[in-house]
Structure 1
């Protein structure tokens, strides 16, 4: 492999080469079995004699760090070597981030450990994803004819995918858009970031639902906004409680996160009227509304908007796979040029072969078939959990009605937030992962409750998982 060697500093050239190669082996940069450059090649790159490099290699071989194989080259030994402390970036306190970044919580642990009974919300079942069909589509996009001539793409995304999204969501969700109105993003979170970048000045007021989606709140805070939580009731966000100075209002009207209730038509109308009076923008995050088990969906705010005050945000992370990081936004004409520029400055464009594959996935009807199949599966899991919570937890939890999405919410009847934390911790020790409702509050005192997901747990494990959860009281 290519390896950088610096000849600056004291000592003869052979010693410097030896010490740097030895250090790279000890801290793991050069791994067991890796092939080093031939002595002639490394000597040429370093502009030293071949003998200078050869002596360094011989010394490392004598000490057991390298193994020479006749006709093959020189390799790092494959037997375990006692490691020293790994190399890290320079420390020190010379440069610090803006103060807001010192107050934001660290990202949640995204390690590979999976709980035995995984009731965490927002995680779809990867086993339902049509992987073979997706692999075929991706392979087709990497044919030479598909990638030549090599060039950068439109910051707004693959033209075919933008058109497919406009058609699909125009039919399935009544979103009013054509391809020019759509901008492809790396999930909903990047869409929110782009909107915030073009709209929010430091100190601007941003209103969010309370309880609500914490990553959105934290993102707006990171941009310098004064974020205010607005209470949510059975009809959705309380429009009368939105600060009149709010520049932006973030809502999840189709399936409120985390409570799960939809925003009523009266509230939708009132929110749009409020936005028009105050010249504010409403960001509509259509969070996991594709999976619907009962009530007919109400029209999105975007389709009711007549004056350009709504940006519609969608994501494929819940319908497909989170690792694909594909989302989109639909913006009014007044914001499109700025959003396009912000996207170009942010990352130029996304992964065009993946976007092209998704366009075919939608146009060939595979997305609709996948959602129908997944909805049937998630509906059965939803029913199992709702039945158990109503039957076995009736004296402990009050279920919040919900007929869509990948989770349900239940409020504690008697216990305090501290009691709820103890229940969740004891459940964790039993291998049950469930989320606290309290973590979704920002400004107001948190309400004790549970957010119970069912995308990541198989139906056969739900009963035992809920039994262990009940035993955690």
Structure 2
């Protein structure tokens, strides 16, 4: 039996109100064809009206074709009612409430439709996810009294997961941290959101790499923060180009997004010195640094920071699954209390079940084994893709050397931004998805080039996909 709300408070025509509210529920499809209505006697008792009042309403609905009665079965929404309702209801008024202009101008988030040859960045291979071992961790978490106690978690997150994360980044990145330094978030984007709320006021300026990843920029702008693009060269962010008055800088030094370069040690030291002189914060997004395929790893900015100016941000979206929606930030002690409050007012805390399962997954060594296994597969894809670009695209593209992450970037040698965009559209028509570098520009002149991810495409499909892409480069402009 379908339960629905009917309000008679302050109404005079009680039978008419029951009729109108049920009718509207049918037209709005809150009540669907075949849904049963409560027996007249029961609805009359619930609404504290006479049975005759309900009967009159039901008879009127039946006469107009909105409901049908079946002897011995009850009263049901008519199969024909919503067909007529679509014509009668029409479009709703746009309403007087309007969003702030920034939400009108902002582009919608990207969609990730399935394509045959998927070279888009930001994606991992879901087929490599260790479902069996993860299922065991989730089952353990469900049996845990902490996840079924029915109480709210501390805003910083599940204690066991924070301990596990602190130990993990200590081993994998050489970062000295305790569980008290860790705050669990719903991915990197929420980490940046709570940081921006704590560190910056509307009208303050934050510097971002130019080109850079779009969602953080849009987040900062939505909070009323002024975003300033700072150029990136082969050594990383150009520190000398940082303008005065900037309160914070957001960087991806381990694997710059989208150019793939790694910030050199002198640049890291220069950035830390700049932050100390200007009493500014550095937000270090250690983007997909888990996957490194050569060269000596450089220390994160956080490990070089002696003044407590760096906030370290990480995520499990690439190493596990984006759908898990778990990330973290490591905060200096001076920001800890404020960040706990910001996380609390944002959503109180992330899912306790997922946190408990991930903490167990890390503690049991399953996470490290998973990263080693998929890292070997991504290493092979990285090499196959790099070889294909260097061999087959040398006259068109200059590959930017990179030994980290899940994408490669190549600059166009002689082609314009528009020509590269045309090639990408033509490739999409052939089932090959690539991203153009120009869409990541902040304020500088957009660069012509392409980004090629290898997280989501099987190794065996890379050569065929690149062959199709090469044909798009060779075809005549339309």
**Alignment TM-score, normalising by the size of structure 2:** 0.91
The residue that corresponds to 1:254 in the other structure is 254
Task: State which drifts further: 55-64 or 175-184.
Answer: 55-64
The residue that corresponds to 2:471 in the other structure is 471
The residue that corresponds to 2:368 in the other structure is 368
Question: Following the alignment from structure 1 to structure 2, what is the Cα–Cα distance between the partners of residues 278 and 392?
Answer: 47
Indicate whether 1:84 and 2:86 are aligned.
Answer: yes
Compute the displacement of 1:71 (Å).
Answer: 6.7
The residue that corresponds to 2:26 in the other structure is 25
Alignment length (residue pairs): 470
Task: State which drifts further: 256-265 or 126-135.
Answer: 126-135
Deviations 1:197-253 (A, max 9, x none): 111122222111111112122222222222111111111111111113211011101
Question: Following the alignment from structure 1 to structure 2, what is the Cα–Cα distance between the partners of residues 152 and 176?
Answer: 29
Structure 1's 195 and 54: CA in aligned 2 closer, same or farther, altered over 3 A? Answer: same
Alignment of 1:67-466 (within 5 A): 74-76=75-77, 81-82=82-83, 84=86, 91-97=94-100, 99-103=101-105, 105-110=106-111, 113-143=113-143, 145-466=145-466
CA RMSD in angstroms, aligned pairs only: 2.5
Indicate whether 1:3 and 2:4 are aligned.
Answer: yes
Question: Is the contact made by 2:119 and 2:452 (CA closer than 8 Å) also made in structure 1?
Answer: yes
Compute the displacement of 1:42 (Å).
Answer: 2.4
Deviations 1:393-412 (A, max 9, x none): 11111111111211111111
Question: Following the alignment from structure 2 to structure 1, what is the Cα–Cα distance between the partners of residues 194 and 435?
Answer: 29
Question: Is the contact made by 2:67 and 2:81 (CA closer than 8 Å) also made in structure 1?
Answer: no
Question: Following the alignment from structure 2 to structure 1, what is the Cα–Cα distance between the partners of residues 241 and 409?
Answer: 23
Question: Following the alignment from structure 2 to structure 1, what is the Cα–Cα distance between the partners of residues 420 and 259?
Answer: 17
Structure 1's 55 and 93: CA in aligned 2 closer, same or farther, altered over 3 A? Answer: closer
Question: Is the contact made by 1:288 and 1:406 (CA closer than 8 Å) also made in structure 2?
Answer: yes
The residue that corresponds to 1:50 in the other structure is 51
Structure 1's 16 and 444: CA in aligned 2 closer, same or farther, altered over 3 A? Answer: same
Q: Which runs of 5+ in 1 are unaligned?
A: none
Structure 1's 306 and 69: CA in aligned 2 closer, same or farther, altered over 3 A? Answer: farther
Deviations 1:386-433 (A, max 9, x none): 121112211111111111211111111111111111111112222222
Compute the displacement of 1:193 (Å).
Answer: 0.8
Question: Is the contact made by 1:118 and 1:457 (CA closer than 8 Å) also made in structure 2?
Answer: yes
**Alignment TM-score, normalising by the size of structure 1:** 0.92
SS state of the match for residue 153, structure 1? coil
Q: Which runs of 5+ in 2 are unaligned?
A: 474-478
Question: Following the alignment from structure 2 to structure 1, what is the Cα–Cα distance between the partners of residues 10 and 255?
Answer: 63
Compute the displacement of 1:357 (Å).
Answer: 0.7
Question: Following the alignment from structure 1 to structure 2, what is the Cα–Cα distance between the partners of residues 449 and 386?
Answer: 15
The residue that corresponds to 1:39 in the other structure is 40
